[in-house]
Amino acid sequence: MDLQLRKIEFIKAFLDLEEEATISKFENLLYAELNQKSDPMTIDELNTRIDQSLNDSMQNRLTSQVELKEEIKSWG
């Protein structure tokens, strides 16, 4: 089966989905894939993120591992 036919079959199956949670999972997967294909970060962007992270840490704007696990459970 060629790629175009696989895409069409996938779309047909996707259109038959009724569960919103299942559709959300596919959306999340799609957006994650699209985001991975974006341009790599520049050195300046990386340094800015590092500076912001250090600042957040010094200001105690952190999420603990326990808090993060609890939040992830609610993503359901």
Between 2 and 58, the more confident residue is: 58
- Phi and psi at residue 12, in whole multiples of 5°? -60, -45
Give the C-alpha separation, 58 to 65, whole Å.
18
- Record the pTM: 0.44
Give the count of domains, the chain: 1
6-33 pLDDT, tens digit each: 989 999 999 999 999 999 999 999 988 8
Domain range for 57 is 3-74
Q: What share of the chain is helix, strand, coil (3-state, %, to 5)?
A: 75, 0, 25
Model pLDDT for residues 34-73, shown as the tens digit of each residue: 877 667 889 999 999 999 999 999 999 998 889 988 888 8
What is the distance between the alpha carbons of residues 73 and 7, in angstroms, rounded to a whole number? 32
Sign for the pseudo-dihedral over CA of 25, 31, 1, 13: positive
